[in-house]
Every structure is written in C-alpha cells, then in structure tokens.
Amino acid sequence: MQPAVPFDQYKLIVPIAPTPLPQGRAERISVNSFGIGGTNAHAILESWSPSQGSPIVVEPVPQLLLFSANTEASLASQRGQYREYLHLRPSDVQNVAYTRALRRQHLTYRSFSVVQPDGELVGTAAGTKTPASTPPVTMVFSGQGAQWPEMGKELALTNAEFRKDLDRMDAILQGLAHPPKWSLIGTFCVLSFPLILSLSPSQCC
C-alpha cells in the first residue's frame, strides 16, 4: 500500500478478504473508479427488501430494430416481414430488437427502424451498403495523462508516413508567431521524462 496515505488518520481500511457489513445500518456501499484516461465514476449500491415498497414497474419504451441482408431487395423484404410479425406479436418487440442487434450477423446492406411498444415500425431508414474495405485506423490521444516517455518513438522511426505527418505538423508549429523551442521529432527521439510531463509538449503530442 502507498505509505503516504494516512490510513489510520482517516480510518481507511483496504479489505483483502470478504468482510461482513456492519449490523444495524443500511446495506450500502460506494464504488469509485477514477480512470487515468479521464473517465471518473462513482456508484452507490444498496440492498433492497420487500419492506421498502412495491417493485418498480418499467414502462415499455420504443426499441431500435436493426436489419441487414446480402442484397438491397432482401433488405426491403426483411423490413416488410418484421413489420407484419410485430404487428401480430407486439409483446416480442424487445426480444426481437435484442436478437437482431446482438445475435445476428451484420451483413452488407443495412437499415434500421424504431419500433413502438405496440409493434408499429416508425422512422425506418433507407438501406445503405457498407464499405467494401475497412476504414483506416486513426490514432487518438486522450490528453488526460495517458502518455508515457517515448510514446510513439518506434512508429516515428520506422513508419515513413507517420514521420511525414510529424514533419508537416512541426512545420506548422514553427510557422507560428511564437513557435515552440522544441520539435515533435525531438520529443519522440530524446528520452526526457520531465519534458513529457511538462504541459506544452505533452498537449501537442
């Protein structure tokens, strides 16, 4: 454990084994997640008993129904078949939406409809054909402290296209009215932990 944390002063305990909840109080716990990428969450969980009231009734809500097929004609036929089926079996709306989204293969021609709880399809989108090739991958840096020393160095030294992009960005930076004293290539190729942690180069990389 981190010795700098004042566990005793703040009555903090790190449970390393199953620990019973204290008696005579609500069974309530808090779960924290403070991600290094900037995603923070805090959840409060509490047990429920019948004495606390009636169960919550969840009202039906519209569902997103996904369609996919190998041809445009098949896609149109599929939409019509589901429209007829859900008109006769509106109680299946939620199950059909779940199955179409997560338990079926997504084929070349795709479309979707919004389905009302009564089985009516509204807002049907026109069918589209997915690209034949996979779109190029884009590198995204969060800017929330997820970088590390020499991050991207190997790519900069071995990938000509990546190096050209860095050169172009360096040229833009140097053309500013007050250009930085550092360069992107220099930041990649010189191991300097304080430099990586400093604000200006860190945010531009």
Segment-wise mean pLDDT, segments of 10 residues, the chain, 205 residues: 84 85 85 73 84 69 94 93 94 94 93 94 88 76 66 82 90 92 76 47 42
Q: Are 123 and 113 in contact (CB under 8 A)?
A: yes
Q: Are 116 and 83 in contact (CB under 8 A)?
A: no
How far apart CA 156 and CA 165 sit, in angstroms, is: 9
Tens digits of per-residue pLDDT, 19-39? 888 888 888 888 888 766 667
Q: Does domain 63-129 have CATH number 3.40.50.300?
A: no
How far apart CA 112 and CA 127 sit, in angstroms, is: 8
Residue 82: closest CA among 104, 115, 108, 47: 115
Q: At what angle do helices 72-88 and 93-102 cross, to 10 degrees?
A: 150
Q: Beta strands of 28-165 (E only): which ranges?
A: 28-34, 40-46, 63-69, 109-115, 121-122, 128-129
Tens digits of per-residue pLDDT, 178-190? 998 888 877 776 6
Q: Please enumerate in sequence order all residues whose Cβ is within 8 A of that of 62, keeping only pairs 6 or more positions apart, or say none.
A: 114, 115, 116, 117, 122
Domain ranges, ordered by start, for the chain: 63-129, 153-204
pTM: 0.44
How far apart CA 147 and CA 122 sit, in angstroms, is: 46
